[in-house]
Chain A
Amino acid sequence: MTALLYAANIGKRYGLRPVLHGVSLDVSRGEFVAILGANGAGKTTLLRILATLTRPNSGALTIGGIDALAHPDRARACIGLVSHQSLIYPDLTARENLEFYGRMYGAANWRLEMRDSSAQSAISNLPIRNLSSRIEEALRRVNLWQRRDDPARTFSRGMIQRLAIARAILHDPPLLLLDEPFTGLDQASAANLSALLRDAALGDRAVVMTTHELSRSLDGVTRALVLQGGRIVREVHDGITAQSLTALMSHA
């Protein structure tokens, strides 16, 4: 199967300080990959590179068959990002936020160069012909339709994260990137978010999540990678539980 996301020998330095050392990663459709590691391991930097928000100093990155370093604007159409920061404008309503992002994505109509025909079909649907119905569908999915006309600043932290998921999946991206999405959530909100993410990951979407909170975020994960000192030091395919990964990380 062709990998939807293919990263090879990704290296990143901030000044003279190396953060990532030749990280390689490939993720196929239907996979839910968790990248685990302590604070400062390089998780967020790696995810920002995968999201094309930060350029690596070395390596190659292909998303949906598109060279994401040469044509990041095209590759971005394949990406949805949920971060611990919501990327939501607090003074706009939930619907206005999604309308804005929908317009930014809905205008995408790239000449595709993708080798992965299934990814191509997903992205060909991107021009959002009926933005209103897309927004309604996304807001109902995260259970915020009743609050659609309320400013986002009136939302709780859990509701904001649900709105962030609606924003991330609005353009139906084949690749969903999650950067510590459970940060700052209470137990109930985290469980709710976990169910939503599992739902969003269903089907043939590929999901990559960074986290250090093993206890609340491993539902649906099919592969776990342990990042330490900017290197992937362990890869686990089977028996992914919080206990086993905690033990693995402590020995890494």
Chain B
Amino acid sequence: MPTALRQIAAIIRKDILLELRTRESTTAMVVFAVMAIVMFNFALRLRVDTFRPLTPGVLWVTLVFAGTLGLSRSMSSEQINQCMDGLLLAPCDRSVIFAGKAIANVIFTLAVALLVTPIMAILFDETLMQPGVWLVVLLGVIGYAGAGTLIATMAASTRAREVFLPILLFPLALPLLVAAVIATSGFLDRLPLGEFAAWIGVELAFIVIFWTAGTLLFEYLAEG
């Protein structure tokens, strides 16, 4: 295995081990996501007859908010005992560290999505459980984790990191959110793929832009 891949694997393994030990990120994300879905379910039931038009929006708002909790925790764990310095001292390109942290964030957010989406299917719309929706979720989570890792790194060195992260991240993630909601709607409404394929393209473009930016900028952001 190439050197960089082994180092990325080491970071992912460490983050998973830390999460298995503390369960801080996933517990907070899952509890928040389930609570949000249940609250949406009760709140919206009062006003609409059918959930289908609202399902994609509820799904993505829930995933984005829950994902932000995990991103914040992911970087704050590196601030304890200045462990980020330990990572930065490793004989590797900084992009390796970004990739390791971002992939770990993808894994955690995806795990939450795997748990939350079936619950949403039960409460909102059973047609959520289809391969097309899972593809949109996968791409959306990869894009959001890439942008989120980058912004969380920037926010980590500030005192008000918990506030800065959503304030900086949500506006940046808006194109991804719009694309994911429209693409999810397309699959739920069984539209021809050609009618909404461009939005899946937007998700892919978001991934390329923010993962490239992350590999190029992580060095400067991590060093403060």
Contact = CB atoms under 8 A, between A and B. Distances in A.
Contacts of B91: 73-74, 76-77, 104-105, 108, 110
A90 B86 CA distance: 13
B88 interface: yes
Contact of B92 (A54, A81, A104, A151): A104
B3 interface: yes
A196 to B, nearest CB: 19
Which applies to chain B's interface (DSSP): helix, strand, loop or mixed? helix
A89 B80 contact: yes
A96 B17 contact: yes
B7 A83 contact: no
Which applies to chain A's interface (DSSP): helix, strand, loop or mixed? loop
A159 interface: no
A83 B21 CA distance: 26
Given A88-B81, A91-B18, A101-B86, A107 B93 contact: no
Contact of B81 (A85, A108, A151): A85
Nearest to A164: B81
**Of B9, B11, B92, which is in contact with the most chain A CB atoms at under 10 Å from its CB?**
B92
Nearest to A100: B14
Given A73-B93, A91-B21, A91-B22, A107 B81 contact: no
Nearest to A167: B86
B3 A87 contact: no
**Of B11, B77, B90, B93, which is in contact with the most chain A CB atoms at under 10 Å from its CB?**
B90
Top 10 A-B residue pairs of the complex, sorted by shortest distance between their CB atoms:
A87-B86, A103-B10, A85-B82, A77-B91, A104-B90, A108-B91, A76-B91, A107-B6, A100-B14, A107-B3
Interface of B: 3, 6-7, 9-11, 13-14, 17-18, 21-22, 77, 80-83, 85-93, 223
26 contacts: A51-B89, A53-B85, A53-B89, A76-B90, A76-B91, A81-B85, A83-B85, A85-B82, A88-B86, A89-B14, A89-B83, A90-B80, A91-B21, A92-B14, A92-B18, A96-B17, A100-B14, A103-B7, A104-B7, A104-B90, A104-B91, A105-B91, A107-B3, A107-B7, A151-B21, A167-B86
